[in-house]
Structure 1
């Protein structure tokens, strides 16, 4: 199992051509861990749908829109009821926001 500092060193020290090859042999868990703690994904979901993944969201009315911030490895980072709360959290942490396509 690779830790985060080893992963960063491995990819920053590798010649550019070898990096693509290394990505081909990584497990799904190793690939997901690359951005854990550094990259976050943001999306809006209603509480009912979110409760399938994060049981605590079930405490809100099912149709209430919630803002969800997730780590690159899929772990929930923050659940909020406003965009401003998400933006404030991102501003206070050293993370990069990735867009979902």
Structure 2
């Protein structure tokens, strides 16, 4: 059977993967967020006046412009919080 797909379309990179921080921020502002797993040491450096356990892996929800929105110690808490928000979640690779 002959494959009729356009090979050029297959090779085209997803434009979201090549966006700069500024372009990503402009894309969604406060309507798009991403979730990043970070350890307590890194998180303490990102959020002023907060202390986190260095050995714990946290889940940080950040808006497209880089503003921290929510921190949780479980993925379930993040999922529950996002369910109450009007935010689209972008997947990072």
TM-score with structure 2 setting the length: 0.68
- Segments ≥4 residues shifted beyond 3 Å: 28-31
Alpha-carbon distance in 1 for matches of 2:58, 2:49? 12
- Give the alignment partner of residue 32 of structure 1, picking from 25, 32, 48: 25
Q: Deviations over 1:29-76 (max 9, x none)?
A: 57624312111100111110111211344x222121111000000000
- Output aligned runs, 1:60-99, within 5 Å: 60-99=52-91
Aligned to 2:11: none
* Number of aligned positions between the proteins: 74
Structure 1: tracts of 5 or more residues without a match: 1-27
Alpha-carbon distance in 1 for matches of 2:22, 2:42? 25
- Give the alignment partner of residue 51 of structure 1, picking from 37, 44, 48: 44
Q: Which has the larger radius of gyration?
A: 2
Aligned to 1:6: none
C-alpha root-mean-square deviation of aligned residues, in Å? 2.0
Deviation of the 1:89 alpha carbon: 0.8
Structure 2: tracts of 5 or more residues without a match: 1-20
Alpha-carbon distance in 2 for matches of 1:31, 1:42? 14
TM-score with structure 1 setting the length: 0.64
